[in-house]
Structure 1
Amino acid sequence: MTSGSPFAVRSSNGIVLRVGPPQLQDLEKYGTVQGRTCRTMLFSPDGSYFAYVNGPVLKIVHTDSWEDVAVIEGVKAHHLAFSPKSTFLMSWEQFYTTKEDPQGKPNLNIYKSENGELVKSFVQKKQGNWEPQWSSDEKLFSRIVNTDVVFYENLNFDKIVARINCYKIAAYSLSPNVGTYFTLCYVPGQSGQPSFGKLFKYPSFDSQQSIASKSFFQADKVEFYWNLKGNNVLLLTSTEVDKTGGSYYGKQGLHFMSLNGQTAMVTMSKEGPIYSVAWSPKNHEFCVIYGFVPARATVFNLKCEPVFEFGTGSRNSIYYNPQGNLVLLGGFGNLRGHVEIWDTTNRKLIGSCEAADSTLLEWAPDGIHFLTATTAPRLRIGNGYKIWHYSGALLHEKQMDAQEELYEVCWKNYPRHTFKEPAISSEKIEGIASSQPVASKQAYRPPSARNRPAIRFSLDDDEEQAHKPGSDSQSKASIKQKKKRDAKKAKKLEGEDNKEASAPAVVSSVQIALTGDPEKDKKLKNIKKKLDAIEKLKEQQAQGKTLEINQIAKIKGESDLLKELEQLQI
């Protein structure tokens, strides 16, 4: 699709639809949405619909013709979500009660995407876990009610056909596979007991019918990461506070579960928090960024064995392109915004760039370009977005006016396999220069060190390069050999220093004759010392050593000292 992919930009002035790259231009088929109360927007999973809320109006747009297919009035929705096949649109409003209506009105609404018809409404008081979950074929619909998970079948939202009520469930997730359905539930531990991840096959939900179970301590919440096939899942457990005081970010753990009943704990080779977890779209591996700064990035296979190390660096985010042949590693938030793009097939770094102050990053559907943005309310200064090529070249930049805040930017989705896997090239693409000021990369040096050679050193002793686990570059034997070489070099330098110390002192060839006058002799000896010191400086200068300004001034003052010496000896 050479004409480019549409993307939507939501700001304090409204919503603008654009198309690109290669050429960036406004989408003429759909005009700008003017309004200072555009609260949310969303493309459907297959990209056939675009929905947004502007004030009290919810609109659904068909993206083939870019015409409104539904205009729903009197809406106070803050969140939107589509069903997997884009058949239904769900909206959530804040729940409230009044004296006239102490029970409150249903605030979770389900509409038909094609015409905006209201199908069903539910009461969903809590904002957390508000979104109902569907099976990929939309035959199964589920939502959490208090601590139970209830299920509906065949789009009949009036009859509950199954329920998980054998445990007090805090969160759950449906597998994305089709035909046979699986549900993974998180059951918090009570009174010092461990928490559990329970995997059930629908509709067998008795406590003894779980096909896999994983227990873990120190888990205030759990995030679920399914691969695209839906046959493997990762559970990222975390606590709000690390009671040991080891980390500001709390404490995390990563666990693996499979539909065949296998479970495992993913073992990290470096202590510290887990920043990011992502499955490859090719389903055979996943990547984790973890450990105290500089964080380590590791690729694991389905046996939870490390298969490749990206080394360490300032990074905390992982983004695979939709085709899975590129992975982007970035460091955002409290990091400087350095981005690396790797070829996942050849394990090769092919591009890098600096995207400072980025709060949002998203790959384009073509898998070649990606978008970064600085958005409010996270950052209210310097709002704008940029579009990059995977080689690291900046192709387009848009900065918002000082009075306009940028809230969100998102690409239009497409069905999987719409775009073929892009061919990866190491050829550099010509880009544009960013209009944003670039921070100086030169380290501060105090005045006393500015005329001396720069000393190179590392703030971190555990920096490492990309490698395969077990390779010679990072083996214990190679580390041991490196230590021996370093010790040998240090010994050699020490010997040279001792040799220098034993060498005869450098002195001036100028001789003085004492006069017997104590005052004159004192001045003569002082001048002799200065001349000896100058001779030593001249020797160092001849050997290539960089002298300080005051040392160069001493050498220039040699002629004055000789004149003064001649005057004293008359």
Structure 2
Amino acid sequence: MAEEKGETETRRSHKKSEMQNQDVEENGYEEEPDFSDPEGFVDDVTDEELLGDLLKSKPKESDGIDSVIVVDNVPQVGAERLEKLQNVIRKIFLKFGRIVTEHYPKQDGVTKGYIFLEYSSPLHAQEAVKTANNYKLDKHHTFAVNLFSDFDRYTNIPDEWEPPEVQPYKDTGNLRSWLMDPDCSDQYSVIYDAGEKTAIFFNTPQEAKLVEERARWTETYVRWSPKGTYLATFHQKGIALWGGEKFKQIMRFMHQGVQLIDFSPCERYVVTFSPLPDNREDPQAIIIWDVRTGHKKRGFHCENQSTWPIFKWSPDGQYFARLGQDCISIYETPSFGMLEKKSLKIQGVRDFTWSPTDNMIAYWVPEQQNVPCRVTLIEIPSRKELCIKNLFSVADCKMHWQKNGDYLCMKVDRYSKAKKVEEKEQWKYSGMYYNFELFRIREKQIPVDKVECKDVIHAFAWEPTGSKFAFIHGESPRISVSFYNIKPAGKVELIKTLEKRQANHLFWSPMGQFVVVAGLRNMSGVMEFVDTSDVTVMAQTEHFMATDVEWDPTGRYVASAVSWWGHKVDNAYWIWSFQGRLLQKQTLDRFCQFLWRPRPPSLLTPEMIKEIKKNMKKYATQFELKDRMSQSKASKEIIDRRRKAIEEFTQYKKDKAAEFKEGKQRRLELRNGIDTDEIHSHVENFEEETIEFLIKVEEKILEDE
């Protein structure tokens, strides 16, 4: 009946429409349209389809709860001190977001010691809980901050505990497999063909051995993690980490438009940066990720900082810090909250660095009115000041730590003379000079030495594992390289100065003693290999228009490169010995980037290393023959042929032994059950016999002098 009724209504509707059209044609006018729904009409269009954008902003019951925080351990005050308390609370909590309402419960005119604050967004409330919890207001009051919704969650905890679901184990392989190479060869990555191809090679003596090559592996460039465990590649949607023997994907991090990354020294965290427009509610410009889980730990705004890395890590990865306006903000892991819930307030701070081995920060503050420039060393997390050095007439400072953290050099640019121009009430400077303030960190009270130089300084570098340093100074064509040493007694002495050099970069070997003095880019790629034990030049050579020089992690090899990114012709990389002997020339079409794969710290103790150096001659003889044979292709072919023959003979011996064992039952049957194998047990054991024979005889006549 319902279907018949529906069909009737449809026919009526069509009939009505035809009659209306007929009236329009005959009379020239149209009846007022009827917009009412026909009988039995069913509207199947939902409100979400029509008003989706509007309904998204519809308040939900949970919105108010999730935006409310409860602050406990607040001072209990009366009406006369309530306004002052409210101003203090607002100053602390307004920096997390806009506060909509605030409520101070009272009893007998005195606050109860806890308050309720409602933010305009749940994200602001979460940030307040993360940062302000355990905030120390004074010695008697430390805030305990929680979300209001947490109280309901904690009261509804089930009585029976359910264990979490076990996640399947993902075998990533041996992430340090390259260290198992029998010849102890190092790996390096190469990008060529204008970035279209990326390859990994083993640095073998004769020619590079390809490990892996892929097209469009990265969209820009690659980066190794500090210990060489991971290879990071860049993509429009984020970062991918690769590792293991076959370079399988270990983890990926979704960060749209990412351009820069930085690893923590412990390789536990990675920091990514994207210049795309940021979200004020949920910071996306800088994100810190957990490498093992792939989870986002925290996001930060960029705040117009132009230097990278914005965050600087402590050597153990326990802390990281960034430079702010008149402050240094120090954060701790794994909570990623600010250390002691407050930044380090330093008026006018210009720059800071971490010690490479200790949780210690060095920072400097420029001159302000009549206050001199100040260099300060502080200990973290205690914030104890270890050393303060005042400097005068300072234009700029640069900080250089020695790799072992034994020394800190402050390169100071200073005004030579100054006189006050009375009519302008300003200081007028007639020239510049430079000096190095050398802090001896390991000695009592951290004494400071000074080395002065009137020439312009182009480069400075510490010997990584020693007490020497070198710097390039002067104007072309009178550029010099000076080498200094810090004696145990504290005296800084000049070892030697190499004059009239074409140089603008210094590259120390990771093991110390050897240094490459190079003139890159506009100096045509001139390179000098220097032994600093007596400051002798071992080799003078040139890689024309070289743009990069990099030591391998062992200090045995040096790579020089002409990158397509810096120079459009002659793109190639060359590999040299530490003494400056050219070993390989690798020319690749539109070669872009060369990077050695870092090695993790050695497992050998200092005592073990000392013992190895003591017996170096004994170990050296084990490798000299192998090195000599590997120097020629013919020797390599002989070695391969002999190895193949030994493998074939070994397999033949195993097959015959198995065949002999299988025939034992047959031998017993033929010999009436007598086991003759015991009598001839040496046959079963296949004892080997060494046979020596004469190949040739050489005669050499020795004449008396």
> TM-score range, shorter-chain basis?
0.5 to 0.7
Contact 1:212 1:257 in 2 (8 A): no
Distance 1:60 1:275 in 2: 36
Q: Residue 140 of structure 1: CA displacement?
A: 2.3
Match for residue 200 of structure 2?
A: 17
- In structure 2, do the counterparts of structure 1 residues 321 and 356 end up closer, same or farther at CA, with 3 Å as the change threshold? same
List per-residue Cα deviations over 1:129-183 (Å, max 9, x = no partner): 54322222222222223331122234210343253213222211111224xx221
Q: Residue 252 of structure 1: CA displacement?
A: 4.9
Match for residue 539 of structure 2?
A: 351
Letter in 2 for 1:108: I
Q: Of the two structures, which has the highest relative contact order with CA contacts closer than 8 Å and spacing of 6 or more?
A: 1
Q: Residue 235 of structure 1: CA displacement?
A: 1.8
Contact 1:40 1:80 in 2 (8 A): no
Contact 1:352 1:391 in 2 (8 A): no
Query: Counterparts in 2 of 1:508-523, with a 5 A limit?
Result: none
Contact 1:133 1:143 in 2 (8 A): yes
List per-residue Cα deviations over 1:36-63 (Å, max 9, x = no partner): x622321112111111213333111124
Match for residue 475 of structure 1?
A: none
Contact 2:404 2:465 in 1 (8 A): no
Query: Counterparts in 2 of 1:18-57, with a 5 A limit?
Result: 18-25=201-208, 27-28=210-211, 30-34=212-216, 38-57=219-238
SS of equivalent to 1:257: strand
Q: Does 1:114 align with 2:292?
A: yes
Match for residue 279 of structure 1?
A: 462
Q: Does 1:91 align with 2:272?
A: yes
- In structure 2, do the counterparts of structure 1 residues 262 and 139 end up closer, same or farther at CA, with 3 Å as the change threshold? same
SS of equivalent to 1:39: coil
Q: Does 1:76 align with 2:284?
A: no
Q: Which runs of 5+ in 2 are unaligned?
A: 1-180, 418-427, 621-627, 632-705
Distance 1:171 1:296 in 2: 29
Letter in 1 for 2:283: K
Distance 2:577 2:282 in 1: 50
Distance 1:62 1:337 in 2: 34
Tell me the matched-pair count. 411
State the superposition RMSD in angstroms.
Answer: 3.5
Contact 1:84 1:134 in 2 (8 A): yes
Q: Residue 70 of structure 1: CA displacement?
A: 0.8
Distance 1:33 1:233 in 2: 44
Q: Could you tell me which of 173, 176, 199 is aligned with 2:356? A: 176
Q: Could you tell me which of 426, 439, 449 is aligned with 1:264? A: 449
SS of equivalent to 2:470: strand
- In structure 2, do the counterparts of structure 1 residues 202 and 115 end up closer, same or farther at CA, with 3 Å as the change threshold? closer
Contact 1:387 1:394 in 2 (8 A): yes
Letter in 2 for 1:311: L
Distance 2:578 2:507 in 1: 12
Q: Could you tell me which of 327, 352, 356 is aligned with 2:515? A: 327
Contact 2:329 2:338 in 1 (8 A): no
Q: Could you tell me which of 311, 328, 338 is aligned with 2:498? A: 311
Distance 1:359 1:50 in 2: 23
List per-residue Cα deviations over 1:468-513 (Å, max 9, x = no partner): xxxxxxxxxxxxxxxxxxxxxxxxxxxxxxxxxxxxxxxxxxxxxx
Letter in 1 for 2:344: I
Match for residue 213 of structure 1?
A: 389
Q: Does 1:393 align with 2:581?
A: yes
Match for residue 128 of structure 1?
A: 307
Q: Structure 1 residues 126-135 or 354-363, which shifts more?
A: 126-135
Q: Residue 328 of structure 1: CA displacement?
A: 1.4
Q: Residue 85 of structure 1: CA displacement?
A: 1.6
Match for residue 147 of structure 1?
A: 326
Match for residue 243 of structure 2?
A: 62
Distance 1:399 1:216 in 2: 52
- Percent sequence identity over aligned pairs: 19
Q: Could you tell me which of 387, 394, 402 is aligned with 1:227? A: 402
Q: Which runs of 5+ in 1 are unaligned?
A: 432-570
Match for residue 297 of structure 1?
A: 481
- In structure 2, do the counterparts of structure 1 residues 102 and 114 end up closer, same or farther at CA, with 3 Å as the change threshold? closer
SS of equivalent to 2:307: coil
SS of equivalent to 1:255: strand
Query: Counterparts in 2 of 1:473-512, with a 5 A limit?
Result: none
Match for residue 409 of structure 1?
A: 594
SS of equivalent to 1:287: strand
- In structure 2, do the counterparts of structure 1 residues 32 and 192 end up closer, same or farther at CA, with 3 Å as the change threshold? farther
Contact 1:343 1:350 in 2 (8 A): yes
Q: Residue 413 of structure 1: CA displacement?
A: 0.3
Contact 1:214 1:263 in 2 (8 A): no
- In structure 2, do the counterparts of structure 1 residues 255 and 20 end up closer, same or farther at CA, with 3 Å as the change threshold? same
Distance 2:581 2:413 in 1: 37
Letter in 2 for 1:190: Q
Contact 1:45 1:413 in 2 (8 A): yes
Letter in 2 for 1:146: Q
Contact 2:374 2:388 in 1 (8 A): no
Letter in 1 for 2:327: D
Query: Counterparts in 2 of 1:436-455, with a 5 A limit?
Result: none
Distance 1:239 1:411 in 2: 38
Higher helix fraction (1 or 2): 2
SS of equivalent to 1:334: helix
Match for residue 163 of structure 1?
A: 343
Q: Residue 336 of structure 1: CA displacement?
A: 3.2
SS of equivalent to 1:391: coil
Contact 1:212 1:262 in 2 (8 A): no
Q: Residue 31 of structure 1: CA displacement?
A: 3.3
Q: Residue 324 of structure 1: CA displacement?
A: 0.7
SS of equivalent to 1:190: coil
Q: Residue 233 of structure 1: CA displacement?
A: 0.6
Distance 1:308 1:122 in 2: 47
Contact 1:41 1:50 in 2 (8 A): yes
Q: Residue 360 of structure 1: CA displacement?
A: 0.7
Match for residue 382 of structure 1?
A: 570
Distance 2:525 2:286 in 1: 38
**What TM-score results when the alignment is normalised by the length of structure 1?**
0.64
Distance 2:556 2:372 in 1: 44
Distance 1:322 1:189 in 2: 36
Contact 2:195 2:221 in 1 (8 A): no
Letter in 2 for 1:232: Y
Distance 1:358 1:304 in 2: 37
Contact 1:182 1:200 in 2 (8 A): yes
Match for residue 648 of structure 2?
A: none
Q: Residue 412 of structure 1: CA displacement?
A: 0.3
Letter in 2 for 1:160: L
Contact 1:90 1:109 in 2 (8 A): yes
Distance 1:32 1:66 in 2: 11
Distance 1:380 1:360 in 2: 14
SS of equivalent to 1:353: strand
Q: Residue 334 of structure 1: CA displacement?
A: 2.7
- In structure 2, do the counterparts of structure 1 residues 60 and 43 end up closer, same or farther at CA, with 3 Å as the change threshold? same
Q: Residue 363 of structure 1: CA displacement?
A: 0.5
- In structure 2, do the counterparts of structure 1 residues 316 and 26 end up closer, same or farther at CA, with 3 Å as the change threshold? same
Distance 1:145 1:88 in 2: 22
Contact 2:195 2:220 in 1 (8 A): no
